[in-house]
């Protein structure tokens, strides 16, 4: 009985180093994640496209000529409120029948 137990113990000892060597080949150390790597890997996930430009300031549009009556243009004021400008036809003369042109008329700014 002692001989049988001794043979099994030697068999187990012979099997353990072989399994430890194969485990070392399978598991490889994971490189440490530094803050720089985290930043470089996270930022591209949030970039979906080019950054859209801000709309023009309303005071730069107000009173300038525009393409067609009824057209609208988004704009912003100094308080960063989202406003809009609308294109209007202007008439003048003694009876208000002379066409003067089309100009942007913008919402009230802060």
Hey, where are the domains in the chain?
58-106
Whether pLDDT at 103 is above 90? yes
**pLDDT tens digits along 15-57:** 665 555 555 566 677 666 666 666 555 555 555 667 778 889 9
**pLDDT tens digits along 59-91:** 999 999 999 999 999 999 988 899 999 999 999
Q: How far is residue 62's CA from residue 105's CA, in Å, rounded to a whole number?
A: 5
- Please name the residue ranges forming H helices in 27-83: 35-46, 58-61
**pLDDT computed for residue 21 by the predictor:** 52
Which residue shows structure tokens 């309303």? 58
């Amino acid at each position: 009985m002692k001989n049988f137990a001794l043979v099994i113990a030697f068999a187990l000892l012979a099997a353990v180093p072989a399994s430890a060597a194969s485990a070392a080949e399978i598991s490889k150390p994971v490189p440490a994640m530094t803050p720089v790597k985290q930043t470089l890997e996270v930022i591209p996930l949030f970039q979906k496209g080019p950054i859209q430009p801000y709309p023009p300031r309303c005071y730069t549009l107000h009173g300038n000529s525009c393409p067609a009556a009824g057209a609208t243009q988004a704009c912003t004021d100094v308080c960063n409120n989202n406003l809009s400008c609308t294109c209007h036809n202007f008439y003048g003369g003694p009876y208000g029948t002379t066409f003067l042109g089309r100009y942007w008329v913008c919402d009230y700014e802060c």
